[in-house]
Structure 1
Amino acid sequence: MTSDALLLQLLEDMPSAALLVTLERKILYANPAAESMLMQSDIELRDRILPLNFEADSLLGATGTLALPNGTELPVRHFNVPTFWHGNPVRMVHLEDVSALQGLQEKVAKFANYDTLTGLPNRSLLEDRLKQAFNLGQRNRGCLAVVFFDLDGFKPINDTLGHELGDKLLQAAAERFKQHIRPGDTLARLGGDEFVVVLPDLSHPSDAALVTERMLASIAEPFIIDNNELPISASAGIATTQLYDEQPLQLVRQADMAMFEAKKQGRNNYQWFDPKLDESTSRTLKIRHALKAGIEHKQFELHYQPQFDLANNEIIGCEALVRWNHPTMGMISPVEFISIAEDTGQIVTLGRWILRRACKDFAELRNRMLSDATVSVNISAIQLLRQEFVGDVETALKESKLPARCLVLEMTESVLVESPQLVSRKLSELEDLGVHVALDDFGTGYSSLSYLKDLAVDWVKIDRSFIQELTHDSQNAAITERIISMAHHLKLQVLAEGVETSAQRDYLRRANCDAMQGFLMAKPMPKPALIEFINDYQADAAFDDEREARTLLIVDDEENVHKSLRRLLMRDGYHILTASGVNEAFDLLAQNRVDVVLSDHRMPQMQGVDFLTHVRSMYPHTARIVLTAYQDEEVLSKALNEGEVFRFLTKPWDDEKIRQAVRAALAS
């Protein structure tokens, strides 16, 4: 068989799209997968120009857009290699459709940056917009104002008339706020009934007061929701800057303090921030002035938080966390001093000390742990982008005699967009050393799959904000599972941060997360305490999901219902779990593989149908049955028709009907 025939056979059998093109991109051949992608046959494509620009010798791959005959554009990842066809030099181009991946990326980014109830920017995106406003103000020297709003009287309405109506009220308030902002302004919801408005490039601080007055007047007009007239108001605080010499989020804190002052003044008004309100300002200045001396006088220390393999509970490493034990201010949190260290440039000296100390400590500790255990060290963009950083890492490894494979450098996603080409080169150099890299707080920033695909990253750490409500919030659960799935498809390992309950741990375990750290297993501790912890620690038995009996979960706030149903259904050999509320039920679902949920419809925390809607989203293979004494036929019929529940039964129940319903649910 000739080389051309062999190449043709290889391309024909290839499942991915591949073409042979000239150096001028003229198509010579398209395999069946390429015909399908380009919507034309090989004969139709020949001698046409491939509608995609690429550079020669693009071995590492690139992304681009294919113009298709139907007028649409298809995002693709492509790479090409040189070869010969009929004795002539050509390029073999491989194409991969990444449209689904991009769509998933956009959904994850939306969840991470926007409030799901109102559609407004959330705290994360607000911070980004504030930074943009600061950059604009520094160039134009205009005035920047931040207004912090809190709704007066919202909590009683939410508690007495229900969360559904409360949510509608928040949505309506958001719409009224929107009516009074300019295209360049930002309206964000921080959570609850708190809203923040960013007003950049004002001519005068008094302009902020005019906007605030209009917003307060708008909110003070009664809301009519579900035939209920709801009279509420709002309190507001205003903070401004024309010097731009503070942290962007400091304005939010100042506006927040001014808002509380407005509450004290009787509500339904606004107050300006007064420096006398800000006790933290003097503390910030003290920290700024004491930072250099603190580094020189060795006032900093490292604490270590162990990390655990979710498959077998073994300790697989620890994260080094810096603490500042100041002689007069006491223990200072890194939340207070890290940003100041970055602003002043002291992070370079401090970061170098942290890296060397962590390597030295772990070199002494590693013989007490698994051979492939690692120590994780946080680094900032300022450190990474410095010319000498890779050399600093190499020096720290050599001085401590710590194998490079035992070091993990953690960075936030924002580092990746600072200088993409320089970052890529630095990470490649670190990879050449054998050092691992982890993306910290994943899901709260850019979450760009293009960076993950192309950069030398080994670990993704899911931010604690997703873990906190993991077992009780279907959206957080969906985001977490998608992050785990995406990372695994990209051959990355996943660690969850901030795991504080066994339910969270068990849910992550079922979602195939690789590792965890959090207060559930261990808090950060000094080196001596860590040694004692490692010596005393014994891993629990590996997670075992095998069981013979089918598991039923009964959710009802009446104890007599639990007893009756347990006694009835245990006859059939089922393993019975009971919960008196939805929060307890969510925890049990996370910790156990439940086959059927039997839930009351009328419960204090959440309606049964709403609860089972979350169950369906988070545990699609669990059958769902509603048991109710109330004939809410419209809601229940809708739930049945949409597949939210398998069946609904009435109280008082017929024993045999319940047994039959459970058997039918298990067989479905």
Structure 2
Amino acid sequence: MADYLANVPLEFLTVCLGVALVTFVIGYAGGRQLLARERTFPPSEFGNDTAILKLVVEHAHEGLIMQDIYGHIEWSNPAYSRITGYSAEEILGRRPQEFILTPENQLQPEDIDVFRFDLSKFQSGTEELILNRRKNGEYFWNQLTFAVVDGETEEDTKIILICRDVTSQVEHVKELEDARNRLKHQAEHDDLTGVANRARLSAHLQEQIASAREGEGKIGILHLDLDHFKDVNDSHGHGAGDAVLRHVAKAMRSALGDKGLVARIGGDEFIAVVSNPVGPEQLEALGNQVLQGVAEPVKVDHHHLRVAGSVGLVLADASKSSASELINQADIALYAAKKSGRSQQAWYTEALGAQYRQRRQILARLDQDLEAGDLSLLMEPQYSVTLRQIVGYEVSAQWLHPSEGLVDPVKLLSSQEDVKRIEKIERFALNRGLAEVKRLREASNVPFFLSVNLTGASLRSQGFVEAVDRICNEAAFLPNDLVIELDEKIIRFDEPDGLTGVVEDLGQIGCKIALDRFGGGHGGAGQLIYLDADMVKISPDLINGIENEDNKRELVKSVIRLAANLGLEAVANGVDRPEQAALLQEFGCTRIQGKMISEPLSPRLAERHMREFELQEEAL
């Protein structure tokens, strides 16, 4: 800090003045010695040099003291008394160490008694910054500059000290340092939770890896992500969400203690870095502690909220890893934990990494095909039991998987992580489906409807309803002939983001709404009361076995009766055998689809099927 102060221009001037004063004092001391020996010099042009020197020294702002080789004060100027609060008489013959040191820096009396200046260390120009105490007990920062006046012997040597009170400058520097530290802390820490941020995490990992390369060492990573955190924000507000995040950060810090660093890397994701863990058992124990701490209730207003999380674990050789690799591996392990049922821990393994790399390659290929529109369309006909003819088609997008052939690409994706991909796939099915159904209409002169299954990925996209209206207009297809099928499990009436508003808007432009897979165990009959639907599609799980199982038969009959009472059309999906079709007709079901009518077909085969299909009378 002394170096820093010396660079300040004002201080530079002060030092220059101090050096000048030292020169004067040295001359003054020498003059005294010469006068003592009764040697005389001619008067200078200024007159009395000694008087001038005395005047300068007495009015200097810097304190000056002259000491013998043992540190005893032989003389001091008035400024030294102003700075320290001690008069010249009080300190004459004493050493500064006896009265000016702070209690925490106080020397033992025996050490003071044997003090002697080491002239190899204390040379002219030597500087020292030290915290001293005035007579009234007040602390101040003392900038010392030493000057040595050689005598005829070492015993005659005098040490002159320039003392400057630089307390204000030191405090200013300290304020700057504190400001820098605050800015550094803000740049490296998360404002909400107080733990490290992504930038600090990356730097910390780099430090750990760099130090490990000089020797041997392991590094452990715990990657935590909360399960269904969005529900907290939606149901209780972002204030509650913030409280939960602070709770999670506290739980992680408590579990980790001084074993490593905790960082929030975004949203509800946290990473803990454990330096030199004892082994996998320690990491698993820490992971369990974290999950248990996170699961503790969080009090928000008058509510006690409970959340859970999933943890990905990594134990690696630090000298053979990079920061990005470690975070990527932890992310892969976390994904595996979530797939295994959430509120779980999962380890990163090489096999898991290979699966992830393969998945990335597959998704990259899917992205290319999505960009080029290189998907296929399958069309599954729906049959009207009352009209005795095919009346519409449910369409779905298919993708040519590199190794598995044609697959439903949506089933390869995560509804939370791959929203944009799913939206593109569903938009393809809608656009291409409209074109193909329109072509079949023109070929048969039958007003077939189009049915397409959509998820929250499409319904939550900005301007979706307007886009559907525009697409129908461009295809000269009435929205009344478009059926939007929604899986019952994505509709929630007790949640702010339960999609009911979008469903109402779709109905406003004329689209039909079908509640798909009804009876699959995800929803309930109460949905039919609140959802402004037009039809109910009974789940294939209920249809399968109705000819042999009394419970299923009664349940299907109740669903069809309930739909009729609410003015909804009942559609049975997964009708594969004539016995099932006959029972459904008996129960009052008006429309069926399944293998008995046809499996999903390509557009070309769908046209041939449309021309050739005729359901045998005995089938119903």
TM-score between the two structures when normalised by the length of structure 1: 0.41
Computing the radius of gyration over CA atoms, which structure comes out larger, 1 or 2?
Answer: 2
TM-score between the two structures when normalised by the length of structure 2: 0.44
